[in-house]
Amino acid sequence: MTPGRRLAIAEQLYWTARELKAAWLRQQHEGWSEEQVQREVTRIFLHART
């Protein structure tokens, strides 16, 4: 697999993880606006650790 392909797969995985986290937040906080959900997703990913 080429390095470019590996990078593309990693990027796709990152965005999929963000979409899944947003879906979970929407379920947990039904009253939140989409802006609040996206802000929280960004906060979570900025402070994520491995």
For 5-32, what is each residue's pLDDT tens digit? 999 999 999 999 999 999 999 999 999 9
Residues 6+ apart with CB under 8 A from 6: none
Number of H helices, E strands in the chain: 2, 0
Write down the pLDDT at residue 3.
96
If one counts every other C-beta atom within 10 angstroms of the C-beta of residue 41, the result is 19
**pLDDT over 90 at 49, yes or no:** no
Amino acid at 46: L
Please state the pTM of the whole predicted model: 0.86
**pLDDT over 80 at 50, yes or no:** no
